[in-house]
């Protein structure tokens, strides 16, 4: 049985980290973008990571940050995976990841007119630019950088990319089963769909989302 990995993004509080661990999710995300309502400092993330049990991946999300800032944030926070969610070029993602000596996923914000060929080509460029590149995270294009709770047309994701892809954008307990069944991604990523309010997660929604993904895994 395929086990879809689950990342819960935008954590700011130790009780939410505990809820993610209790629910059995695989990864958490810290937003280091200062304009986000879910922003945490590297020091806050370090404290939250200290409270985590082993085998949960701590991801640091960046928007257009300079390589030195990414490297320093990784050093202080100890996140072990990067997520570039801004307008960085493939080369800029690679340079920042190399400065931090840390693997990364690249967010691609899908528009209604994005084509599967464009996604394949983008993945090829990222792959060629760095051995630290570990796959694409698909989110929905909105006129802001993310965590907006909007769904895109999942049929645009090429079948060849799904086994390494992270699917995000407007996921919730209501569409999780359909998303996993249709796309069969490596992982899913959710933020606003498990929130009580921005930056404040709801433990019951986290648990329900993880259950929905596991139920989808069981029937595939
Ligand atoms: O969460 C933010 O505030 C944020 C700010 C800037 C760039 C990205 C941001 N979040 C991205 C995510 O939380 C997830 O990777 C993903 O987009 C899922 O978001 P959602 O649609 O809310 O589930």
Kindly state if the Cβ of 38 falls inside 6 Å of ligand 1: yes
Q: Would you give per-residue pLDDT tens digits along the chain (220 residues)? A: 889 999 999 999 999 999 999 999 999 999 999 999 999 999 999 999 999 999 999 999 999 999 999 999 999 999 999 999 999 999 999 999 999 999 999 999 999 999 999 999 999 999 999 999 999 999 999 988 876 789 999 999 999 999 999 999 999 999 999 999 999 999 999 999 999 999 999 999 999 999 999 999 998 8
Locate the domains of the chain by residue range: 5-219
HSE (CB half, 13 Å, CA atoms) of 29?
29
Ligand 1 lined by 33 (C-beta under 6 Å) = yes
Q: What's the pTM?
A: 0.96
Q: Is 169 in the pocket of ligand 1 (CB under 6 A)?
A: yes
Ligand 1 nearest atom to the CA of residue 83, by list position:
15
- Tell me which architecture the domain covering 5-219 has in CATH: Alpha-Beta Barrel (3.20)
Cβ-contact 85, 145 below 8 angstroms = yes
Residue by residue, what is the 3-state secondary structure of 113-170?
CCCHHHHHHHHHHHHHHCCCEEEEEEEECECECCCCCCCCCHHHCCCCCHHHCEECCC
Residue closest via CA to ligand 1's atom 12 equals 147
């Amino acid at each position: 049985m395929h086990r879809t990995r689950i990342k819960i993004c935008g954590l700011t509080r130790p009780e939410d980290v505990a809820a993610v661990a209790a629910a059995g999710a695989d990864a958490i995300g810290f937003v280091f973008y200062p304009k986000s309502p879910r922003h945490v400092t590297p020091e806050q993330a370090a404290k939250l990571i200290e409270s985590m049990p082993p085998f949960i991946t701590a991801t640091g999300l960046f928007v257009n940050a300079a390589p030195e800032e990414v490297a320093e944030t990784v050093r202080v926070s100890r996140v072990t995976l990067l997520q570039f969610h801004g307008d960085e070029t493939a080369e800029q993602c690679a340079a920042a990841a190399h400065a931090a000596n840390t693997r990364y996923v690249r967010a691609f914000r899908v528009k209604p007119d994005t084509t599967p060929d464009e996604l394949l080509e983008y993945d090829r460029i990222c792959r060629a630019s760095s051995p630290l590149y570990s796959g694409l995270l698909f989110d929905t294009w909105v006129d802001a950088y993310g965590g907006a709770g909007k769904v895109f047309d999942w049929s645009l994701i090429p079948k060849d990319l799904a086994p390494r892809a992270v699917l995000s954008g407007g996921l919730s307990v209501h569409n999780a089963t359909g998303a996993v069944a249709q796309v069969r991604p490596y992982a899913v990523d959710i933020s606003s769909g498990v929130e009580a309010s921005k930056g404040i997660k709801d433990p019951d929604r986290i648990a329900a989302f993880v259950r929905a993904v596991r139920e989808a895994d069981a029937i595939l």
